[in-house]
Amino acid sequence: MQPATSPDQLISALEWRYATKLFDTKKLPAATWSVLEKSLQLAPSSFGLQPWKFIVVENPEIRAKLRPVSWGQSQVTDASHLVVFTRRTEMTEKDVDAFYNQMISDRHADASKLEAYRQMMLGGVVKGKDATAQKEWAARQVYIALGQFMTAAAVIGVDTCALEGIDPAAYDDILGLKGSGYETIVGCAAGYRSADDKYAAMKKIRFPLSKVFQKI
């Protein structure tokens, strides 16, 4: 397979990306958004279990309600798209079996040959973790998806801003997530930066390679 982008192009996109503070209200083309949705569907997760749901908040009235419980951040209402990343509140044998059965169906696999993997998933997540550990595990998977989404957006020239400055419980109330089996972890705004966003021209501040890498 030929690389979709060159190493230099990738670094350029990551240098261009920043936490966009002011968004233009211009909407992303449908085809562009479709690609970003696909990037989330393709996000990796432990065991492949995908303990998440991505809620795209399109209703402007709901977005207006979310803004006050997001420290008043304008990205919530102004960006083209707002995605709320949620995690499963509990991983059960039913969740494992849903993935296991799809794997058998999609790959036309022999169920008996995948049973050992099913037991590994059950032991590693469902039976091997208490409720707190399950939630921590699921949250880590959500952040993997968030990272992939933001990188994919940068590569195709779309701005993003991860939103951790939110009240997750209030989000759950506003989005009707109580009792759904999912709960809010983090949000992410996506769209196009405003020409008035002073942060766009600021130098990116990162520690040198020598500080963040250790080779042994």
- Phi/psi of residue 90, nearest 5 degrees: -155, 135
- Read off the pLDDT band of 36 (50, 70, 90): very high
The CB density around residue 61, as the number of other CB atoms within 10 Å, is: 7
The CB density around residue 66, as the number of other CB atoms within 10 Å, is: 24
Q: How far apart are the first and last CA of the chain?
A: 32
pTM above 0.85, yes or no: yes
Rounded Cα–Cα distance for residues 22 and 79 (Å): 8
Rounded Cα–Cα distance for residues 41 and 52 (Å): 10
| pLDDT surpasses 90 at 2 | no
Q: What is the mean pLDDT of residues 39-65?
A: 98
pLDDT at 4: 83
Q: What is the mean pLDDT of residues 120-139?
A: 97
- Read off the pLDDT band of 133 (50, 70, 90): very high
- Phi/psi of residue 186, nearest 5 degrees: -160, 155
| pLDDT surpasses 90 at 119 | yes
Q: What is the mean pLDDT of residues 14-38?
A: 98
Q: Which residues are within 8 A (CB) of 95 and not within 5 positions of it... i.e. 6 or more apart? A: 49, 51, 88, 126
Rounded Cα–Cα distance for residues 86 and 51 (Å): 9
Residue bearing tokens 């989330």: 40
Q: What is the mean pLDDT of residues 116-132?
A: 97
Q: What is the mean pLDDT of residues 106-130?
A: 97
* CATH 3.40.109.10 domain locations along the chain: 7-88+134-212
Q: Which residue has the higher pLDDT, 202 or 1?
A: 202
| pLDDT surpasses 90 at 43 | yes
In CATH, 7-88+134-212 is 3.50.50.60: no
Q: Which residues are within 8 A (CB) of 190 and not within 5 positions of it... i.e. 6 or more apart? A: 28, 36, 79, 80, 81, 82, 83, 149, 153, 158, 159, 160
**H or E stretch at 60:** helix 60-66
pLDDT at 3: 83
Rounded Cα–Cα distance for residues 178 and 200 (Å): 37
Torsion of CA 208, 148, 145, 49, to 10 degrees: -110
pLDDT at 105: 97
pLDDT at 1: 83
Q: What is the pLDDT of residues 186-202, one digit of tens each?
A: 999 999 999 999 999 99
